Structure 1
Amino acid sequence: MMKPERLKTLFNPESVAVAGATDNENKMGYHVMKSLVESFDGRIYPVNPGKDQVFGIAAYPGVEELPEAPDLAIIVIPREKIHDTVKKFIERGTGAFVIITSGFREAEMPDGGKLHEKLRNLVERANAVVIGPNTFGIVNVRRGLNASFTPALFKVRGGSIALVSQSGGICHLLAPYAMREGIGFSKIIGLGNRLNVDFPEILEYLATDDDTRCIALYIEGTENPRRMLDEIVKITRSKPVVALKAGRFEKADRASRSHTGSMAGDYRIFVSALKQYGAVVAETLEELISFAKALSMQKPMFGDRVAVVSLVAGLGMVACDTAEKCGMKLAEFSENTRSQLYELLPPYTIRDNPVDLGFVASDVELCGKAIELIAEDRNVDGIVLNYVYSWSGDFLQVPVDSIIRASGQKPMTVCLNYPPGTWDDVREKIEANGIPVYSTPEMAVKSLKALGDYGKILLRE
């Protein structure tokens, strides 16, 4: 069985064993079991020689006593016992593992590297796949599998972004951010020390994953960057890849080696190669996940002429500044669009790009007509729409239907900011129709730029 098929089993098991399962809340095996029990509908086999039951589920003293070979084994035991335990699982027929235990090549221990290579040789001979060691685990949000030590990760919204990270801490930072911003995931993957599953293998698997429309990569370093780049260039025409490369400066570069046992490489060369091979590059964590949101929801933008429409003039100014700073141009409306806008909107509004709807905010139909008119302009490649709640909801309404129709004409991102509970239904309806919503005009603009970057990638010969 080839690695892509093994990875398919790893993310979609029917049975899972946990070596090191326990009811002791102070042990990692407890949190792994809690994550699994709260998410997984398949067969669970706790392995613990000192327990008859764990979480009310029959436990087994060893691998040999299991009633079947589990599809996936999660390993949470001391590192000295891992090789022999994995060997027993392999002999039973298990071919997929998540090894959470640390203390291998990332550790400052004289035998860490040797243990790593010994384990790698074992699993490679068996054609098995391993996520880790030194990982928090994996989550298949759409298929009901939390194979990690963090039960709360299963609270993230289901979506179509696969987040692949060398750092568990980064995933644990981005997950709550995504919850607040309404960003959904198909999978969350902590690669850890990459025993025999690295970025190339994951990319090859995600290329055929029906649940994933966009891939977000947090990269510290890799031993074989060319293989990763080759997979990116193969996948990017059908699925956009967003990448954040850490280690811009010397100390962070050195920290990468001790964190994941990997070579980080020169930042500028690495980022240049990522762009050349078809990745959309993010510079911050917020950008990484926000760009992925836009790319998973919206069509690419072919061009760099942007229209900015705002309910408040200040938001429009910030959006314009951000657009020009990002290298985009403010679109020059056609004469037909300009004349119609001048007819529709009163003279004390800003009717050229950026368009200010503040003085007609109470007329939802008029605002909607202006937005749709701008979307029809051939001089406009994409739209950033900024709506902010500033007074009574009965007086101020969002032209949701017009926004949805306009997004059918042009790529669009929306900044929608409001007190909790006021426009939740508005945001849900907009995003349900494939339009990404952000909390700030800056992120809405930058995410539209990401759609433009991807459009340039698709236009390459």
Structure 2
Amino acid sequence: MIGQSHSLPTSSLLAPRSVAFVGVSAKGGAGTKMLNSLLRSGFGGKIWPVNANAAEIAGVPCVPNLDVLPATPDCIVISIPAEGVLPVVEEAASIGIRAALIVSEGFADDGTAEGKARQERLVAIAKASGMAVAGPNCMGIASLGHGFATTMADIPEKLGAGGISLVSQSGGLLNAVAELSANRGIGMNYLISIGNQAVLDLADYIDFLADDPKTSVIACIMEGAKDGRRFRAAVDRASRIKPLVILKLGKSAAGQAATFAHTGTLAGKHEAYEALFCANGVASVMSLDELVETAALLATAPLPKGDRVCLLTVSGGATSLISDLAERAGVNFGRIDDETSRRVGEALGVSRHFGNPLDTVGMPRLCRDGAIEGVVGALLDNAEIDVIGLVLGMRMEGAENHDKLVGRMADMARTAGKPLLVLSFISNSLTGHWRGYASAQGLPLVEDVELGLRAIRHLTDYATFRSSVPITESPPKIASTVGKTSTRGVLSEADSKEILGKAGLPVTREYLAATIAEAKMLAEKIGGPVALKVQSRDIPHKSDVGGVHLGATAEDAEIMSAKILKSARTACPDAAIDGILVQEMVDEGAEFIIGMTYDEQFGPLVVVGGGGVMVEVFKDASVGLAPLTRHQAMEMVARLKVAVQLDGFRGAPPLDRDALIDCLVAFSNFVAATDGQFEAIDLNPVFVRSRGKGVKIADALIITRGPWEEYNEQTESHYAFS
């Protein structure tokens, strides 16, 4: 939390009892606009405009300077040219003002050395004085719930107070969300523009809002986190208290640098954020409309006990459309059993079996006395249905049939024990007549089929998260066992597996041969067919250069070792070769990949997916942040297309899913304990064998964190292969 991690008086900024303004003038401008916003907000505290040349501004008496204030304000709002800001902040700190909101531009936002230095000085002043600072370069803060607003944002007069708080890195998008919410009658609490985040950052505001009793949903519009580790901690904590809805800007792959290992191509910055969001039940949305619809639903609907949805329709065409779009949105439809179907038919006066979505055979039947109550009652008694929605073509001006049906749904929602909602498949229909209906009647309304279905999916995802939040286990203390690697750069498979084996991971039995004659001897020692692999840090992907032979016998191990050695030397004449790795063959099970790539903001990202040489082609992978709980590892595996193999595919025996999950958790604990030592790790393939037989890591590649030049300088220490 802000107050805990930074010991900053955030409440002085976000819920002040008195405010001073520097930069206000009778001529208008940013400062005067912010003063007027505070006056309009119904603020009941003390207000002091600071202006030596005016007796009053906007009807409020002025003071000539800060040192003659009749009392020390909680917060100072500064909107003067950048070069004058720091002296004002220093003076404010000297008289005990605990918080500052800086509108002024000209700090790190201008990209100049002067601006960056100015911001660094601001941070130093705030740190020395313990001052909470918002901005600079921000539009301000408003809280309709607390009756406080010092903002340049265009807050619509019709926007009412509610439980949604928005934190935004974009002032323009903050304005848009306020307008969208006002049009729908969706109430908001805080609207916070965070600007440069010089002192307080996104994580601080999330921490504050997690504990704010008037905030039921935290919404964010973000470009990126200033401190990934603190942002992760804030999201981890807040999501266990209330739902978060986040619109992450800049999701495209442009500008994301590819790393050397396979897993580097599967996990970039976007994947890191999505992994964080997925692990915490965060609703990751794609648009402002989806943000508003999702936040509104989460703010008004009770959490369901599961993710099984039933949607009632009044049109066969709507039923087909919803079925198609629900599959795309990932909505899980519950099963309509025979007894439920019988009761639904009885309520509608129809003898047939009903599916899901549930076509009620038209408005006339559903509008009959007791019909919708009978249908919904049957679904409420069905233990395989968790959420019930009614889909209508709502009209902005209302319609008699719709009004009555929605009213009857609202009556049932008060005692249902399961979330009931209404989804309008007409976009922009929930204004006018329906504006504010959800908050007034306690019945969630969502609009637009696609947006509404995604909002429903976000609701059920968060409910699933909250019902399965596990106790986070501390990773085992394996860092001291592994130790810090002395070599930097690409490690050979043999060196990589030595590290992994010491960490307790299930690597194959193998030996490194210094000569082709020794390769034959080691093959005899292992017994049975073996794999032969050229070992060199200069050849990370051995099969690409003919450096691998599988299924060699002891009799032909010497010949095949010479063959793959020749192929590798031909393809990579400058490679320093360590030897031939002689390895037990693993020829049973499905191939998976487990890996890690290092993210500068969040640390180790763990990847699991379909393995083998085609990993980069299909890119069937799930990403998580280390360390993983067992539940998170299970969810990551379940999201894979190749996971179907684990349960037995086309007559094949089921595979050891539990062992794969155990390996994934252990690997995540390993990379968490060695955080910062490795740039990337590939375990590919990891053979998942028949149930009860475990898994085996057949190949591995570790890239330690360090420049390539340092690695190249150490090649002379490798003995030549003879």
Contact 1:4–1:201 at 8 Å: present in 2 too? no
SS of structure 1 residue aligned to 2:10? helix
2:368 to 340, 363, 376: 363
SS of structure 2 residue aligned to 1:142? coil
**Structure 1 residue 218: deviation in Å?**
1.4
SS of structure 1 residue aligned to 2:9? helix
2:378 to 369, 373, 390: 373
**Structure 1 residue 147: deviation in Å?**
1.0
Q: How does 1:392-431 map to 2 (within 5 A)?
A: 393-394=399-400, 397-406=404-413, 408-416=416-424, 422=433, 428=437, 430-431=438-439
Contact 1:345–1:351 at 8 Å: present in 2 too? no
Distance 1:168 1:402 in 2: 38
Identity over aligned pairs, percent? 26
> 2:469 maps to which residue?
460
**Structure 1 residue 278: deviation in Å?**
4.2
Higher relative contact order, chain-length normalized (CA < 8 Å, sep 6+)? 1
Over 3 Å counting, the alpha-carbon distance change for 1:169 and 1:422 in structure 2 is closer
> 1:70 maps to which residue?
73
> 2:32 maps to which residue?
30
> 1:451 maps to which residue?
459
> Is 1:136 equivalent to 2:144 in the alignment?
no
**Structure 1 residue 361: deviation in Å?**
4.4
Distance 2:369 2:432 in 1: 20
> 1:187 maps to which residue?
190
Distance 2:32 2:64 in 1: 16
SS of structure 2 residue aligned to 1:117? helix
Over 3 Å counting, the alpha-carbon distance change for 1:333 and 1:277 in structure 2 is closer
**Structure 1 residue 247: deviation in Å?**
0.9
Greater shift, 65-74 or 386-395, is seen at 386-395
> Is 1:310 equivalent to 2:310 in the alignment?
no
Instruction: Give unmatched runs, 5+ long, in structure 2.
Output: 258-267, 471-722
Counterpart residue type for residue 444 of structure 2: P
Contact 1:36–1:145 at 8 Å: present in 2 too? yes
What are the Cα deviations for residues 328-355 of structure 1, in whole angstroms up to 9, with x where unaligned?
2322212111011122224499943222
Counterpart residue type for residue 246 of structure 2: A
SS of structure 2 residue aligned to 1:122? helix
Distance 1:421 1:214 in 2: 24
**Structure 1 residue 434: deviation in Å?**
3.3
What are the Cα deviations for residues 27-68 of structure 1, in whole angstroms up to 9, with x where unaligned?
212211211111122211111232221112111222122212
Contact 1:229–1:277 at 8 Å: present in 2 too? no
**Structure 1 residue 195: deviation in Å?**
1.3
TM-score, structure 1 length as denominator?
Answer: 0.89
> 1:257 maps to which residue?
none
Contact 2:331–2:453 at 8 Å: present in 1 too? no
Over 3 Å counting, the alpha-carbon distance change for 1:402 and 1:392 in structure 2 is closer
TM-score, structure 2 length as denominator?
Answer: 0.58
SS of structure 2 residue aligned to 1:102? coil
Distance 2:142 2:290 in 1: 22
Q: How does 1:51-450 map to 2 (within 5 A)?
A: 51-150=54-153, 152-153=155-156, 155-249=158-252, 266-347=269-350, 351-357=354-360, 358=362, 359-389=364-394, 393-394=399-400, 397-406=404-413, 408-416=416-424, 422=433, 428=437, 430-450=438-458
Contact 1:31–1:150 at 8 Å: present in 2 too? no
Over 3 Å counting, the alpha-carbon distance change for 1:402 and 1:372 in structure 2 is farther
SS of structure 2 residue aligned to 1:143? coil
> 1:259 maps to which residue?
none
CA RMSD of aligned residues (A): 2.6
**Structure 1 residue 384: deviation in Å?**
2.3
Contact 1:18–1:33 at 8 Å: present in 2 too? yes
**Structure 1 residue 441: deviation in Å?**
2.7
SS of structure 2 residue aligned to 1:23? coil
SS of structure 1 residue aligned to 2:325? helix
Distance 1:223 1:393 in 2: 49
**Structure 1 residue 394: deviation in Å?**
4.4
Distance 1:300 1:227 in 2: 28
Contact 1:412–1:448 at 8 Å: present in 2 too? no
SS of structure 2 residue aligned to 1:188? strand
Over 3 Å counting, the alpha-carbon distance change for 1:394 and 1:156 in structure 2 is closer
Q: How many residues align?
A: 447
Distance 1:313 1:272 in 2: 38
Over 3 Å counting, the alpha-carbon distance change for 1:421 and 1:115 in structure 2 is closer
**Structure 1 residue 388: deviation in Å?**
2.7
**Structure 1 residue 251: deviation in Å?**
6.0
Instruction: Give unmatched runs, 5+ long, in structure 1.
Output: 255-264
Contact 1:23–1:54 at 8 Å: present in 2 too? yes
Over 3 Å counting, the alpha-carbon distance change for 1:406 and 1:395 in structure 2 is closer
Contact 2:184–2:431 at 8 Å: present in 1 too? no
Counterpart residue type for residue 30 of structure 1: T
Over 3 Å counting, the alpha-carbon distance change for 1:170 and 1:364 in structure 2 is farther
**Structure 1 residue 317: deviation in Å?**
3.3
Structure exhibiting the larger radius of gyration computed from Cα positions: 2
Greater shift, 1-10 or 67-76, is seen at 1-10
**Structure 1 residue 154: deviation in Å?**
5.9
Greater shift, 415-424 or 186-195, is seen at 415-424
**Structure 1 residue 277: deviation in Å?**
4.0
Distance 2:172 2:398 in 1: 41
